[in-house]
């Protein structure tokens, strides 16, 4: 049975109920020597505790989309076919634009929330550059199949989960597509294609979204293979103008790092409670080696860039949970890099989905403005030419204004 499926959850619920009833019925009826009676009663108690813990874990896992499968939970899943040394740009000398177009087969995705708001589709992608083979989830905006928009290309946002975390969490727990659908229909937010690729690629370890020759090419998977697949199969805008990446927790760290490392592939990034130092995630492979730790720190990437990258960052967090790292990036940024920092109050909650869910809409309002993807008064009317300028979005509700610092707005 699937780890996140209804049959498994129902089975656990039934077993938990049986485990509670057994001691009530059999406690005084157990026969045999004293040691046998004691052993049987201990087993009944253990059975009750194990089933109760398993049921609670399953409910929490289904709610937060931490582990998507038994392989993810047990640390036996490996989605890397090969991990060649692809060089500093992550392409291994391959001219990605010259690769032949490959059509993907998509099917409706299963799981909580995946059939809401028009439905999420999924495909299994063989990364031609990265050597990664994993699933990618795609949600199309309501305008995509409208005949009035048939010649229109759409901006794209890659969505990255935390660690551990399922690629489906943006849809199944944060309800991003359900929150954004009515706003896209009414023209208050631009119609974005949402793409959520798997980021848990190695058993029991966070890749840090980095290329580690011989281990994994996660950076190329996310910034080369996945975007190429999207452009091959959907009417997506060209990079970098029409592309952004967003994530929470470890995914926020990755989003910031990918945008800073590849301003030729992304124009904007959103980080919700992200961090700069890869060692903040204890299982991160990039946090175990001093050289990798520094090379994959977004603050280092920004400070050591040959020229300030032309990107915009939206960084939110609470004190001691992302806010200080965000303000450090804001202080280091100079034009044309722009950074919007949003401080969230402690009353908004801790490092959980409940904190990040209300930030989805403010972040996408900001993305609408930063990418110049102007929303339209009517979902049936395609937009006009792309605006030449964009203005910063408003901070999330209940947050402080942008942090002071060079390049902050």
At 271-310, the pLDDT tens digits run 999 999 999 999 999 999 999 999 999 999 999 999 999 9
By percentage, how much of the chain surpasses pLDDT 90?
70
Per the structure block, which two tokens stand in for 31? 């026969």
Question: How confident is the model at residue 70, as a pLDDT?
Answer: 76
> Residue 126: in which H helix or E strand, if any?
strand 121-126
Question: How confident is the model at residue 377, as a pLDDT?
Answer: 53
Question: How confident is the model at residue 130, as a pLDDT?
Answer: 97
Question: How confident is the model at residue 387, as a pLDDT?
Answer: 34
CB-count exposure of residue 145 (10 Å: 0-12, 13-18, 19+) = exposed
Mean pLDDT across the chain: 88
pTM: 0.84
Nearest to 360 by CA among 195, 222, 178: 178
Question: Is residue 109 a contact partner of residue 127, using CB atoms and an 8 Å limit?
Answer: no
Question: How confident is the model at residue 409, as a pLDDT?
Answer: 33
Question: How confident is the model at residue 196, as a pLDDT?
Answer: 98
Question: Is residue 137 a contact partner of residue 65, using CB atoms and an 8 Å limit?
Answer: no
Question: How confident is the model at residue 65, as a pLDDT?
Answer: 73
CA gap 248, 273 in Å, rounded = 6
Which residue is listed with tokens 């060692």? Answer: 279
Question: How confident is the model at residue 382, as a pLDDT?
Answer: 62
At 19-39, the pLDDT tens digits run 888 888 888 888 888 888 899
Flag residues of the chain having pLDDT under 70: 373-409
Cα 58 versus chain centre, distance: 21
**CA angle (208 as vertex; 203, 210 as ends), nearest 5:** 105
At 306-333, the pLDDT tens digits run 999 999 999 999 999 999 999 999 999 9
């Amino acid at each position: 049975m699937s780890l996140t499926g209804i049959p498994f959850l129902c089975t656990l619920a039934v077993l938990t109920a049986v485990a509670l009833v057994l001691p009530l019925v059999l406690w005084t009826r157990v026969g045999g020597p004293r040691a046998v009676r004691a052993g049987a009663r201990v087993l009944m108690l253990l059975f009750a505790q194990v089933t109760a813990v398993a049921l609670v874990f399953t409910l929490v896992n289904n709610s937060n989309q931490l582990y998507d499968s038994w392989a993810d939970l047990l640390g036996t899943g490996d989605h890397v076919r090969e991990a060649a040394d692809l060089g500093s740009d992550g392409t291994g000398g391959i001219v990605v634009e010259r690769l032949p177009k490959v059509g993907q087969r998509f099917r409706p995705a299963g799981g909580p929330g995946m059939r809401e708001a028009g439905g999420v589709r999924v495909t299994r992608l063989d990364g031609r550059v990265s050597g990664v083979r994993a699933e990618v989830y795609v949600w199309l905006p309501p305008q995509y199949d409208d005949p009035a928009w048939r010649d229109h290309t759409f901006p794209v946002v890659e969505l990255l989960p935390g660690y551990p975390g399922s690629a489906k969490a943006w849809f199944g727990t944060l309800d991003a597509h359900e929150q954004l659908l009515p706003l896209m229909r009414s023209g208050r937010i631009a119609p974005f294609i949402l793409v959520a690729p798997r980021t848990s690629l190695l058993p029991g370890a966070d890749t840090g979204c980095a290329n580690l020759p011989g281990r994994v090419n996660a950076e190329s998977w996310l910034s080369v293979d996945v975007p190429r697949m999207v452009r091959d199969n959907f009417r997506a805008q060209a990079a970098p103008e029409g592309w952004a990446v967003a994530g929470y927790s470890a995914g926020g760290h990755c989003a910031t790092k990918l945008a800073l490392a590849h301003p030729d592939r992304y124009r904007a990034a959103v980080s919700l409670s992200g961090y700069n130092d890869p060692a903040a995630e204890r299982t991160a492979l990039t946090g175990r080696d001093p050289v990798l730790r520094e090379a994959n720190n977004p603050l280092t990437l920004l400070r050591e860039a040959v020229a300030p990258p032309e990107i915009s960052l939206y960084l939110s967090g609470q004190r001691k949970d992302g806010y200080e790292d965000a303000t450090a990036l804001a202080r280091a940024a100079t034009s044309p890099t722009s950074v919007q920092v949003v401080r969230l109050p402690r009353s908004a909650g801790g490092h959980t989905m409940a904190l990040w869910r209300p930030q989805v809409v403010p972040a996408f309002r900001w993305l609408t403005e930063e990418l110049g993807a102007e929303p339209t008064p009517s979902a049936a009317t395609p937009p006009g030419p792309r605006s030449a300028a964009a203005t910063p979005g408003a901070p999330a509700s209940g947050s402080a204004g942008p942090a002071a610092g060079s390049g902050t707005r």
